[in-house]
A and B are shown apart, each in its own frame.
Chain A
Amino acid sequence: MRTALILLLLLGVAAIPGSLIPQRTQNPMAVREYFANDPTLASWFDRFSLFDVYGSPWFSAIYILLFISLIGCVLPRSLEHLKLARALPPITPKNLNRMEFYRSWPGVGGEYDAGKSWLKKNRFRIREFDGALSAEKGYLRETGNLLFHLSLILILIGVSLGALFGMKGEAIVNVGERFVNIPTSYDSLSYGKLFTDRSLPSFSIKVTDFVGKYNLITNAPEDYTLRVETVREQNATRENHIIKVNSPLSFGSTNVYLQANGYSPVVTVRDSKGQVVMQGPVPFLPQDANLTSIGAIKVPDSIPQLGFVATFLPTAARDKVRGGISAFPEALDPKLLFSIWKGDLGLDRGVPQSVYRIDTSKMQKIGLHSLQVGQTFTFAEGSITFDGVTPWVNLQIVRDPGKIYALVGGIVAILGLLASLFTRRRRIWIRVNESGVVEVAGLAKNGAPGLENEISSLVGLLERVER
């Protein structure tokens, strides 16, 4: 018992560092910053898994030990409690006057039966032996308590199932594009230990429209509505759906969430001969609440290779310090600012690159310009046209087959808690001896309150019994 209590507290304490130090799973950028600012400290932190607290060996060790001790204690108790399901209370002790609540008075006869029927009516379990009555109530307390602890085990099972058989991925999709649920469509994808490619359900989602509504005074978002057209299986019919922030789209146990949104400027790049070398929307990464976005337009197919390090402003404005910024999240007055680079984009070096940045170490800057929709800028190596802008959405696709167990566990936990915290377990005894003296006594387990009133009302009733 003491071990469990200590482990429980330890688990609480162990959870603390993860809330104070950035975690890889939640905020990888902040972790990288840590490494950049203080490499020695960061590498020490890393040695103790402080950037992955909740997946670390020591955190896992604590909760596994806790649950082992929980199982070791709760299972035997549950079996015992099952055996007790129909059991009767122990027989009446000899010396009732030692009990917490005790009354005795010379009776007139009939008290015993009146008491018995009162206890029956109040659903006490009753055992009679040798002219004395022993009654008990409140078994629900132990039942609830056991249910509560068992449900914690169920929740853990649900969490483990999710970790083993689940998957989670993200994909950025421009409005107008179709997402097909195969591994290569994802920007990031992680599987549970027992999940394979073939477990990915087959469906496709075409993003037909996305509308973000913003408050005109505070610029805060008020509503995001994403319209999609889905095909559930091969050769199935098309269906139209709406996805909102709080209402995902489900394909069986796989859910699709609207997670983030931004803009993709649509551009056409031509080489010096006027040949189109790149055309289409390029997703940019929002930097602030007004969706000032940064991005990289990479043109590996031109000779020399071209790159545009760009900023996109949905509603262009100027700031004294920051220069070009966006003043409103909707694309009211879009503007594309960029610097032009030529040289080697470094795409075939095999090192993964961010799609939002260009490694300009092997490139040379050849110009700086800004465009509004419809405008073209021509330079020695070619030209760039800003054709328009289309929104993108970040779809998060999650499969968690364990969540239903965790949910059931959660509900049972609450019900069990209510039963165990609000049920009072108590015993009441009645004995009438040969000389007709009535004795009534009671005992409350864990000093639960309220027995005094119960005994008083029983005694009051019995004292009014007439011959």
Chain B
Amino acid sequence: MTHSSWAYTSNYLIYSSMAVYTLAFFAHAYETAWAVRSPESQAPAGGLLAKTFDFARTEKVARIATSFMILGTLLLFAGVVARGISAGRVPWGNMYEFSITGALAFCGAYLFALRKYDLRWLGLIVSIAVLLTLGTAITVLYRPSAPLVPALKSTWLVIHVSAAIISGGVFLLANVIAAAYLYLDAMEQRGERSAWAKRLPSLEVLDQLSYRLVAFVFPLWTFAVIAGAIWAEHAWGRYWGWDPKETWAFITWVGYAAYLHARVTVGWRGRKAAWLCLLAGSTFLFNYVYVNVWGTGKHTYSGL
């Protein structure tokens, strides 16, 4: 196949993955909506029998939803790979490519965590977030496939950017969970959880989970920042220059270091920790959106 037909293939794969994620979204929405109705029509709080019955009904839909998520992610993966082949390099040369790879990392992180934790309830949020990301990517950020500018031609592109993208995916997942924590916490403050939210994990589990995710990728993020510094030394002759992108990477790093400290040494849990997690995560997003699109400095590879 020629380069441009690989590029078309990539676009088709991305569109198909969006279609499948849409199906996943509806399946998750259906599952959630279904779960609302049944327990309330049963006797109060259900008893064991009612619960089993309720779950049995939604179980099938939930499984379908997860299968869609997996299929969508596989298609997205193929799309990202095809994009790379079309350009003859790793697909991380401009903001469109960062976005599709980032969406892939986010879904990958979700599916990976799903193997260990019961996170299916998150599917609704994950699928809508991925759809929004891919939608923006393909409409606003899209750029034709092209070779890299000389500054990006380096093995460090592969090392630094892959570490950063994976960290980003996991940070965002931790953020979604922290946000869910705050939402459910507010709900519990007002009284009981609504029926649909009863199936979601307890607050302690969510709190632990977002901490685990952050603790798991913090070293990777540290590595991404250091790899970036090494690359900057190769390309620009200095390993740190307080370029806006570097500055915000540092701020994100400090934010998550503060989060880990707050948890481990000061003993923050729950609401305060969740807010701090959200704050650190938003510096990551800010770096991605603001610095790429409006910022100045040496990291202007968005192609916009």
Contact = CB atoms under 8 A, between A and B. Distances in A.
Interface string A404-415: 001100110110
Contacts of A418: 219
Contacts of B234: 246-248
A396 interface: yes
A407 B250 CA distance: 16
Interface in A385-439: 396, 398, 400, 403, 406-407, 410-411, 413-414, 417-418, 421
Given A12-B251, A247-B234, A248-B237, A18 B150 contact: no
Interface in A206-220: 215, 217-218, 220
A246 B258 contact: no
Nearest to B265: A1
B251 A220 contact: no
A235 interface: no
Interface in A27-79: 27, 30, 53-54
A421 B218 contact: yes
Interface stretch (A178-186, A221-229, A265-273, A306-314): A221-229
B258 A8 contact: yes
Contacts of B208: 449
Interface in B97-147: 144, 146-147
Interface stretch (B13-21, B72-80, B188-196, B225-233): B225-233
Contacts of B243: 26
Interface residues of B, number: 51
B55 interface: no
B150 A223 contact: yes
A283 interface: no
B159 interface: no
Contacts of A411: 226
Contacts of B216: 421
A2 interface: yes
A330 to B, nearest CB: 15
B167 to A, nearest CB: 13
Contacts of B219: 414, 417-418, 421
Interface string B19-34: 0000000000000000
Given A8-B257, A12-B258, A22-B296, A246 B235 contact: yes
Contact of B254 (A9, A255, A396): A9
A334 B226 CA distance: 43
Given A54-B242, A245-B235, A421 B215 contact: yes
Contacts of A18: 242, 247
Contacts of A20: 244
B239 interface: yes
A234 interface: no
B239 A403 contact: yes
Contacts of B255: 9, 12
Interface of B: 144, 146-151, 153-154, 156, 208, 215-216, 218-219, 222-223, 226, 229-231, 233-244, 247-248, 250-251, 254-255, 257-258, 261-262, 264-266, 283, 291, 295-297
24 contacts: A4-B261, A5-B262, A8-B261, A12-B255, A15-B251, A18-B247, A19-B248, A20-B244, A22-B296, A26-B243, A54-B242, A215-B146, A217-B146, A222-B149, A246-B150, A248-B234, A400-B238, A413-B222, A413-B226, A414-B219, A414-B222, A414-B223, A417-B219, A449-B208
